[in-house]
Structure 1
Amino acid sequence: MSASRPNRSSRPPGWGAPLRLVLRLAVMGIGLGVISGTALKLLAPHLADGTSSTTPPGQQPLERLSASQPLPSGIALGRFEPKTELTALSQKWAQLAARHKDLQASGYLLVLDDGRFAQLQADKALPAASSIKTPILLAGLEELDTGKLRWNEPLTLTKEVVGGGAGWMASKPVGSRFPFWEAATEMIRVSDNSATNLLIKRLGGKTALNARFQAMGLHATVINNWLPDLKGTNTTSSLDLAHSIAMVDTGEMLSPRARDLFRGVMGTSRTNTLLPLGMLMGLGGDSADPDSALLAHGVTVLNKTGDIGIAYADGGLIELPNGQRAVAAFMVKGPFNDPRSTGLIRAMAAEVARTLIGKPGGTAPAANR
């Protein structure tokens, strides 16, 4: 007869049950510690800057923002997008032009930050003179951006490209070589016509450049002859001049490095007696050095003029004292060397300064505050 198994209920009490209870409590404690530590780690940034879980997402009070939070991305570049016409300014330009029935005038202004604009026959094609050098510079830097030419690439002076008038390169022997950067700079700095022709040839010639201008949307900009083109066969418009500058500043064309080169070259221009001087006159000033005088008003103008006697032009980027940027361009065709032509451009530019900046010693217009 086999021995019967002992009854479990009859076993004497031991330490098994208390040990199991202790082990369970230890495991639970460790788990709670891990959970609490994780929660505290997640809440620590909010507790440090004074926020709590009750703050609605995305609605932290400004005074509680942590120093580690990212700052806004920066100032927008603006767009070439006209939105609101400055009617009074457009009408003022029309009144100024109407005083001279024998002059053909054109003007365009656009504030890149907010789309305010003014216009006077802005898309009318007129003799470009040297103002066409701005879109030529743009085309050259686009080639640089795509790697199709080098900044220091030598350009050879040939009889075909030697141009009279402004500049010094025409005085150099045929066969002389100039780096691309020097030709581009002298084209703007002293409006060198031979330097300009060097660029036209290097960029494929007149036909190729005209096709590129059309692709850029510069529909009135056409090169028909080498510079200086005293007969005024090369054309552009105030809208095209303003647009060619805006495409760079808004980032529509050129990389940041090429954009800096564009601004650097434009900043070398010596002639400042049209758009810059007109802006200064609108602020109640007058100076033999308008660029320096404008700095005292918080204004910088990067511009390129044109002058062939029968036609004058000036287009530039205007940096305003409130941080905004605008592009403006003016063109006038009239009798040879008629001072009314340059006077009209300065008068229209003066109205721009009065509209965008305000009266001398006064406050800026409400739209700019």
Structure 2
Amino acid sequence: MRESGNDLNMPSEDGFSPHQQDARRFSNLPTPRLAQPTARPRPAERRSRKSEPARGRKPATAPALNGKNLAADRAPSTRAPLKFDEKLKSGPDRLREQRDRRRNSTQAASSTGNRRLKPVPNPATGTHPQRRSRSPRKLSRLSASAPPRPRTRSGTAIVYGTRLLILGVGLGVLAGTILSAWDSARYFTAGASSPEKTEQTATVSATPADQLPMLTLGQEMLPLKNNLQALVAQQTQLSPGMMIVDLDTNAYLNINASVALPCASTIKLPILVAFFQDVDAGKIRLDEMLTMRSDLIATESGEMQYQPVGSQFSALETATKMITVSDNTATNLLIDRLGGKEALTQRFQSWGLTSTAIQNRLPDVEGTNTSSSQDLVTLLGLVSNGKLLSMRSRDRMLDLMRHTVNNSLLPSGLGEGATISHKTGSIGSMIGDVGLIDMPSGKRYLIAAMVKRPRNDERAEELIRQVSRLTYQYFSQPAPAQTSGNSGQPNQPPVSPQTNPQGTSLQRTKVAQP
């Protein structure tokens, strides 16, 4: 027993006891290790690693103590690898297989026109594939079997609609321009038409007398009439005709108002009304050009006579010169454009102006053209009430008359703040003035004073100035209370402006009150 015990404790030939030999034997076993993260391989190492087969790790060995053990350490280990190491090695393989499957599916999808799937990066190899994308249009071109994509029509419809709208507007503007040019040509052609056709046109513009409401008159202004009659009685060599109408109360004054007298340039007032009447009817344009002929040039007053033959003036400019500076050449141009003296006389008669007529072109130094203070006041009253002209033409006409240059007759008898739209007339045998007066108090009245005189007698001018002064003073007084009259007689009935006076008396006709 001692030998056996000694045998166990005795060292072996290599100098180790049995226990030491067992420890030595167990220390030669390989130690399992986990896969450690390594640095990202370079491309050259990656290619070489892919080409090399998988190799196992060399097991760790203890330091050799003798030659026998060194030989044993050099021998390769025949132990099977651990399953844990197999799982670590199979992970990159599975990722590689997944990448291959996705690549195959992407190639199959690109053949049918679908978008290619992005490649998945490989964490085992540390690679990051380059991302490349193609637009759907390029993919559709690559696919031969993919059907063409339909285009949307919403934007195209809007574009076509806009083009049609622009085309319609352009056609409308073009049509309007053509019509305007044709209309202007028609008007200018009418200006060069024959006198017979123009006279017919002027006659159509006239308003029948039975359809034209006449100027309604109220009571006669007896106090003013008495004062003016006393003034006229002092001038035995003068033959005046006077008509005054209060536009607020229709009260009137009549002294020989219906007697026809040479009217000189006061005939230009009804010519001006006829001109604006044709403007309202669209037969004359204000910018229409009128050509001056040699047979239309007139002397005496005006400046157009000094222009060369063939000069052109607009219709509005011609009418303005006829009124403001009493241009006779401008008057003849308008008489010719409105159809001639016969056509105008017919139109005056249709307005109820029974004493107004044009016998000759201007200058009418012989006094053949006639009118009456009653006709001129009646005409101004119809214009003021809007019976013959539109409101626009009426205002334009009265504005022209406010700019009359000669203010030596009726305007000289007015007070401060009063305005007058008037037209004067003067030849050797007659002088007159007719106008509409606006007072600062708001009162408005019409007045016409025509005086037949010895040749160029200046007393006629002074008479008109005194008549204007007395009339303005009369209307400046406060309105008296309505009574039965100073003589105790009842109020006189209203009269018609068509009554003919016998001396200073009047034949009265009852008319309806306004």
TM-score, normalised relative to structure 1: 0.71
Q: What is the aligned partner in structure 1 of residue 458 from structure 2?
A: 339
Q: What's the offset of the Cα at 1:339? A: 1.1
In the alignment, which of 411, 425, 437 is matched to residue 306 of structure 1?
425
Question: More strand by proportion, 1 or 2?
Answer: 1
Q: Which residue of 1 aligns with 2:330?
A: 195
Amino acid paired to 2:279: L
Deviation at 1:107, TM superposition (A): 0.5
Q: Deviations over 1:317-361 (max 9, x none)?
A: 111223232111000011111111101111111111111113xxx
Match of 1:279 in 2: 414
One-letter identity of the residue aligned with 1:343:
E
For the residue of structure 2 that corresponds to 1:91, the secondary structure is helix
- 2:239 matched to which residue of 1? 104
Gaps of 5+ in 1: 1-78, 281-293, 359-363
Provide the C-alpha distance between the structure 2 equivalents of 1:258 and 1:85, rounded to a whole number of angstroms: 31
The letter for the 2-side match of 1:179 is S
Structure-2 separation of matches of 1:140 and 1:129 = 19
Letter in 1 for 2:256: Q
1:156 pairs, out of 284, 287, 291, with 291
| 1:225-258 Cα deviation digits (max 9, x unpaired) | 1111011111111111112211111111111111
Q: Separation in 1 of the partners of 2:481 and 2:362? A: 42
CA distance in 1, matches of 2:279, 2:435: 22
SS of 1:247 mapped into structure 2: helix
**Partners in 2 of 1:204 and 1:136 — Cα distance?**
11
Task: Tell whether the 8 Å contact from 1:80 to 1:112 is kept in structure 2 after alignment.
Answer: no
Give me the whole-angstrom Cα distance separating, in 2, the residues matched to 1:357 and 1:301: 15
Q: What is the letter of the counterpart of residue 223 of structure 2?
A: A
- Tell whether the 8 Å contact from 1:185 to 1:268 is kept in structure 2 after alignment: no
Amino acid at match of 1:193: N
Deviation of 1:209 (Å): 0.3
State the Cα deviation string for residues 112-167 of structure 1 (Å, max 9, x = none): 12111111101111110111111110010001000111111111111221110111
On the 8 A contact 1:269/1:303 being kept in 2, the answer is yes
Rounded to whole Å, the distance in 2 between the matches of 1:177 and 1:339 is 37
AA of the residue aligned to 1:337: N
| CA distance, structure 2, for counterparts of residue 329 and residue 310 of structure 1 | 17
**What are the within-5 Å matches in structure 2 for residues 83-122 of structure 1?**
83-122=218-257
**Aligned residue in 2 for 1:70:** none
Asked if the contact 2:402/2:419 (under 8 Å) is kept, the reply is no
Equivalent of residue 400 in structure 2, options 265, 281, 285? 265
Partner secondary structure for residue 271 of structure 2 = helix
- C-alpha deviations, 1:282-335, integer Å up to 9, x for none? xxxxxxxxxxxx32xxx1111110011221010001112232321110000111
Higher relative contact order (CA 8 A, sep 6+): 1
User: 1:140 aligns to what?
Assistant: 275
Residues of 2 paired with 1:367 and 1:161: CA distance? 55
Aligned to 2:472: 353
Aligned twin of 1:366: 480
Cα offset for 1:278? 2.1
Task: Note if contact 1:80-1:110 (Cα within 8 Å) is conserved in structure 2.
Answer: no
1:151 is aligned with what amino acid?
L
Kept after mapping to 1: 8 A contact 2:436/2:446: yes
Contact 1:275 / 1:346 at 8 angstroms: preserved in 2? yes
Q: Using the TM superposition, give the Cα deviation of residue 367 of structure 1 relative to its aligned residue in structure 2, in angstroms.
A: 6.5
Secondary structure of the 2:414 match is helix
* Residues 192-239 of structure 1 deviation map (CA, whole Å, 9 limit, x = unaligned): 000011111111100000000000111111111111101111111111
1: distance between equivalents of 2:341 and 2:284?
18
Residue 17 of structure 1: aligned partner:
none
3-state SS of the aligned residue for 1:204? Answer: coil
Aligned to 1:82: 217
Matched, 1:169 2:304: yes
Q: 2:353 aligns with which of 215, 218, 240?
A: 218
SS of corresponding position for 2:441: coil
Task: Supply the AA of the counterpart residue of 2:443.
Answer: Q
Secondary structure of 1:84 counterpart = coil
The CA deviation string for residues 49-87 of structure 1, in whole angstroms up to 9 with x for no partner, is xxxxxxxxxxxxxxxxxxxxxxxxxxxxxx932101001
User: Does the CA contact (< 8 Å) of 1:196 and 1:227 recur in 2?
Assistant: yes
Is 1:315 the counterpart of 2:434? The answer is yes
Query: Which one-letter code corresponds to 2:431 in the other structure?
Result: Y
- Tell me if structure 2 keeps the 8 A contact 1:81–1:112: no
2:377 matches 1:242:
yes
In the alignment, structure 1 residue 253 sits paired with structure 2 residue 361? no
Distance 1:141 1:201 in 2: 15
SS in structure 2 at match of 1:366: coil
In the aligned structure 2, how far is the partner of 1:161 from the partner of 1:367? 55
What SS does the aligned partner of 2:388 have? Answer: coil
Structure 1 residue 98: deviation in Å? 1.6
Paired letter, 1:263:
L
Q: How far off is 1:267 after superposition?
A: 1.5
Distance 2:309 2:225 in 1: 48
Report if aligned partners of 2:399, 2:421 keep a CA contact under 8 Å in 1.
Answer: no
Local SS of the residue matching 1:277 = helix
User: Structure 2, unaligned stretches of length 5 or more?
Assistant: 1-213, 483-514
Cross-structure match for 2:73: none
Find the structure with the greater CA-based Rg: 2
Q: What's the TM-score once normalised by structure 2's chain length?
A: 0.51
Query: Identity across aligned pairs (percent)?
Result: 42
8 Å contact from structure 1 (residues 314, 329) kept in 2: yes
Aligned partner of 1:366: which letter?
Answer: P
Contact 1:279 1:346 in 2 (8 A): no
